Amino acid sequence: MRMAEQQSDPRDPRGLRADAPMLDAWLKFTSRSKAGELLPMCVPGHKQRQDLVGDVIAGDAPFYGGLDSIKHADSLRVDAERRAADLWGADWCRFSVAGSTHGNQALALAVGQPGQQVIINRTLHRSLLLGLVLAGLRPVWVRPELDASSGLPAGVAVSTVRAALAAHPDACGVFLGDPSYVGTISDLAGHAAAAHEAGVPLIVDAAWAAHLGFHPELPPHGIAAGADAVVTSAHKALPAYTQGALVLARTQRLKEARLDRAFDATHTTSPAGSIMASIDAARALLAADGEWLCGRLIRAVAAARQRLREVAGVDVLDGPGVEPTKLVVLLAGAGAHGIRVEADIIAAGMAVEMADRDTIVPIPVIADNEDQVSAFIEVLIAAIERHRGPPRRPVAAASWTVEPETVLAPRDAFFAQNETVPAAAAVGRVSAELIAPYPPGVPVLAPGELITAAAVEALRQVAADGGRIAYAADPSLQTFQVIARP
């Protein structure tokens, strides 16, 4: 087992560079830079000098002109991306330094023509909604099943997508976010079959799930399940730099040249070599030790779920419809307010990914060992005990229940003339802005959607509970941006 064979190089403790060309190039560049061998007359403007702004630029290396010369770096890129495509069984792969946000938008640009419809789940991340704006696609919303006891979304049923495809035979693709933000999974093989029978690609936003498919007890990843493209954040589930993401595709239904054009259209021309190299390194780590690391994570999360269930009133999402490494803690039965519990665990230096009144979502990943997860769980339990109260019924968050009425296509609404109106006057008007409680970043209002009293009230409830109202021009929700009347 590779884990046991610790290598002697402290800069590459697992000896990944032999199988990670970008990592190797980054290590060489930064060694030469540290040794004072370089006097770059190209960007970045810090010129590797830490006497100006200090450590903040340490390790930064441009991909073009750092990891390799500007003229040759593309062959390094193609080599590393080919290795990732092979690992996931894809035909095409690109590394992004702009997160799954960029990957989603690139795929929206790759799939159809402006004006065409796409079947898409409304519990999507805001990045994909803005992808619809960029690409001019028109959404046909499908919704996941809601779990009645927790108020959280389950997977999207294949029958729901089949019905949408049958009702919209001109749709150019199916986009699904899977696993959901809370780790619930759909039958992706069934969705792929449904999409392919309709002659369109299935595209999966798997932002949280770069580790799927790397252990027999984990669900297969989207490509293995038959999807035509998958977007995943290397920086979320894998040990990669913030912003690192992978876009993977099969090229039967999506064309390679168009995928490249769409990807490049929205990517920086100056990708950070450190981010690119960390994606390459994370891929090499998965290839070498993925099964062992995922096995450790599955055990850690199983133990955490069991321990949490021993706490009176606390429950966790579990079962065959939930991916085994996801930890979603349900607090309603213990009466503790998630945002107060979160404040305590932040104070203990253990920030979690999401907390709302009834739910806490920490993100254990393959970087965490069993002891670390278990130490966090004890701190979490102590915080829950401090805030314990009378049990209450969980309320399904606005992000999961929103049933929008789309009046204008997102792109038309985005570019339309708009005006600012007080909240009371906004009800019944068409939203010009996207407003999402963040996390999870699922829009409660999106450009082109009718503003309902229920949506305004749901957003106010999030704010009252201490949630962050993101992307609103007025996060206090006293005014809204609406499409101007002609």
Ligand X SMILES: Cc1ncc(COP(=O)(O)O)c(C=O)c1O
Q: Kindly list the residues in this chain that would bind ligand X in the complex (CB under 6 A).
A: 99-101, 104, 125, 127, 177, 181, 205, 207, 233, 245, 441
Helix runs in 169-323, H state only:
188-197, 222-225, 234-237, 256-265, 273-309
**Residue whose CB is less far from ligand X, 127 or 452:** 127
**Residue whose CB is less far from ligand X, 125 or 211:** 125
**Residue whose CB is less far from ligand X, 106 or 426:** 106
Q: Which amino acid is at 47?
A: K
Which residues face 246 on adjacent strands? Answer: 95, 232
| Least distance from ligand X to the Cβ atom of residue 125, Å | 3
| Least distance from ligand X to the Cβ atom of residue 146, Å | 17
| Least distance from ligand X to the Cβ atom of residue 124, Å | 7
d(CA 177, CA 194): 16
**Residue whose CB is less far from ligand X, 322 or 384:** 322
**Residue whose CB is less far from ligand X, 92 or 181:** 181
Q: Do 377 and 329 contact (CB within 8 A), yes or no? A: no
**Residue whose CB is less far from ligand X, 207 or 248:** 207
| Least distance from ligand X to the Cβ atom of residue 410, Å | 16
Q: Is 52 exposed, middle or buried (0-12, 13-18, 19+ CB in 10 A)?
A: exposed
**Residue whose CB is less far from ligand X, 65 or 439:** 439
**Residue whose CB is less far from ligand X, 142 or 383:** 142
| Least distance from ligand X to the Cβ atom of residue 308, Å | 23
The residue behind tokens 């441009």 is 62
| Least distance from ligand X to the Cβ atom of residue 234, Å | 9
Q: Do 387 and 336 contact (CB within 8 A), yes or no? A: yes
Q: Do 151 and 177 contact (CB within 8 A), yes or no? A: no
Both tokens assigned to 161:
């997508």
| Least distance from ligand X to the Cβ atom of residue 113, Å | 24
Both tokens assigned to 58:
């340490």
Report the residue number whose CB is nearest to ligand X: 99
**Contacts of 431 by beta carbon, 8 Å cutoff, 6+ apart:** 413, 445, 446, 447, 448, 449, 450, 451, 480, 481, 482, 483
| Least distance from ligand X to the Cβ atom of residue 365, Å | 14
